[in-house]
Amino acid sequence: MRIFDVTRLIHHGMPVYAGDPEVLIEPWLSISAGSSVNVSRLSMGSHTGTHIDAPAHLRDGSLGVDQLPLDELIGPARVVGLPTCFQIDAGSLLGLELTLHRRILFKTLVPGRQQTDPAGFGGITEEAARLLVDSGVKLVGVDTLSVDRLDSSSLPAHNTFLDAGIIILEGLDLSAVLPGDYELLCLPLKVHHGDGAPARIVLRELAA
């Protein structure tokens, strides 16, 4: 069974959501400078790269990333390919048999379309988000920096998902993954009361 690493590399200059901290990785101790070990200092936002949004992202006092149930983060997942779709609306979800899948990952990027381009992805509409909630989906992932439009201030998809207890994955790298069914293994950093956290996420092919 093949394993696909769908986590984006964390590095200097990588794309981040507008207003979020830039990524800094710098030496703290180094063998070349006379230390016995190499140790780096990492500085980045909690929503850097491939990451999880917890309810605390939008609501004070809500569940932090350290309180999310692991059984929602590990299990069968459906990858849905929508590369020609600018915006995921209710019509985009027709025929997907949503009630059969607790975890859905949307593959929207095509070569040349960037994570940070507001004109490249119009987000998930509130109507589509509500349909996913009503269908019993418990986790939604996207390969862009946000489930909402990058220029959105009201964040309708975030609000709809997080208020319903649906876990959000953002910044996935699904470029090497074909649409279909996989096993999702998603382990975020265990940040105390974290509003979000980077995660190492892989998809494993299901046994034939």
Q: Is 152 part of a structural domain of the chain?
A: yes
**Any idea which of 66-75, 113-122, 163-172, 195-204 has the lowest mean pLDDT?**
113-122
Q: Is 26 part of a structural domain of the chain?
A: no
pLDDT for res 86: 81
Query: What mean pLDDT do residues 138-157 have?
Result: 93
pLDDT for res 98: 87
Q: Is 166 part of a structural domain of the chain?
A: yes
pLDDT for res 116: 62
Q: Is 16 part of a structural domain of the chain?
A: no
**pTM for the full predicted model:** 0.93
The reply to whether 158 belongs to the active site is no
Q: How many CB atoms lie within 10 A of CB 97?
A: 9
pLDDT for res 114: 62
Instruction: Indicate whether 65 pLDDT > 90.
Output: yes
pLDDT for res 38: 98
The CATH number given to whatever domain includes residue 171 is 3.50.30.50
Tens of pLDDT, residues 83-109 = 777 889 999 998 888 888 999 999 987
Domains contained in the chain, number:
1
Residues 4 and 24: their CA atoms lie apart, in Å, by 27
Q: Is 33 part of a structural domain of the chain?
A: no
Instruction: Indicate whether 175 pLDDT > 70.
Output: yes
With both helix axes pointing from N to C terminus, report the angle between 156-163 and 126-134 in degrees, rounded to the nearest 10: 20
Instruction: Indicate whether 138 pLDDT > 70.
Output: yes
Q: Is 38 part of a structural domain of the chain?
A: no
Sign for the pseudo-dihedral over CA of 99, 93, 125, 121:
positive
pLDDT for res 16: 92
Name the band, by pLDDT with cuts 50, 70 and 90, for residue 184: very high
Computed over every residue of the chain, the mean pLDDT equals 92
Placement of tokens 């590095």 in the chain: 11
pLDDT for res 119: 59
- Of the listed 57, 101, 158, 193, which one is catalytic? 57
Name the band, by pLDDT with cuts 50, 70 and 90, for residue 121: confident
Residues 207 and 124: their CA atoms lie apart, in Å, by 31
Q: Is 160 part of a structural domain of the chain?
A: yes
Please classify residue 188 by burial: count the beta carbons closer than 10 Å to its beta carbon, then call 0-12 exposed, 13-18 middle and 19+ buried.
buried
